[in-house]
Amino acid sequence: MKKVIDLAVIAMLTVIVFTVEQALAFIPNIQLTVLLFIVYTKIVGFKKTMVIILLHTMADNLYNGSLNPFIFTPMLLAWSMIPVLLSTVFRKFDSPLFMMVFAFLFGFIYGMSFIPFASYQFGINIRAYFIADLPFEVLMALSGAVSVGLFYTPLMTFLKEQPVLQKDSYLMKRYSSPTKSL
């Protein structure tokens, strides 16, 4: 039953990040996706967050028209950097200020991850692409930093209180033991 609970949690968190991103899609590079992936990594861990990122990236690409490898690949690689970095190099950092700086820098990482793919696909000069994309990267960096600054602590507090996300909660004790039955 624990696997069913894990699947339900992954599905819910994926739907949340996808819905929030699509709801804000009318404003270029303004989103809460960075915040959500940071919080997901801290709350549910590396593996589950990677599954959420894969599902989200596939859904986002399908919803927006295709699974173009020149969009899907850099998007998947960039989003994956959040759980990879927060689970390895920065695993001991939890402060909201650090997360704000991380989200700000990630805005540039995300934008720059598309440059080699677009350059190859369209034959665009890398420098010209970077200069043209820079305002959007700055916007995404600021959006990520502001959203983390405003919502990281309250969202972490809220999610840590949810029984399904607590390792010692009633649900986990009740349904993770192989000796207990429904």
Query: Considering the domain boundaries, does residue 31 fall inside one?
Result: yes
Query: Considering the domain boundaries, does residue 37 fall inside one?
Result: yes
DSSP 88: T
pTM for this entry:
0.89
**Two tokens, residue 8:** 């339900």
Query: Considering the domain boundaries, does residue 27 fall inside one?
Result: yes
Query: Considering the domain boundaries, does residue 47 fall inside one?
Result: yes
**Angle CA(159)–CA(164)–CA(169) in degrees, nearest 5?**
105
Domain span including residue 88? 2-176
Query: Considering the domain boundaries, does residue 128 fall inside one?
Result: yes
> What is the DSSP secondary-structure string of 3-53?
HHHHHHHHHHHHHHHHHHHHHTTTSTT--SHHHHHHHHHHHH-HHHHHHHH
Query: Considering the domain boundaries, does residue 14 fall inside one?
Result: yes
DSSP 91: T
| pLDDT by residue, tens only, the chain of 182 residues | 778 888 999 999 999 999 999 999 898 888 899 999 999 999 999 999 999 999 999 999 999 887 889 999 999 999 999 999 999 999 999 999 999 999 999 999 999 999 999 889 888 889 998 999 899 999 999 999 999 999 999 999 999 888 888 766 655 555 555 544 44
Q: What is the CATH number of the domain that holds 72?
A: 1.10.1760.20
HEC assignment per residue over 70-83 = HHHHHHHHHHHHHH
Query: Considering the domain boundaries, does residue 181 fall inside one?
Result: no
Q: How many domains does the chain have?
A: 1
Query: Considering the domain boundaries, does residue 19 fall inside one?
Result: yes
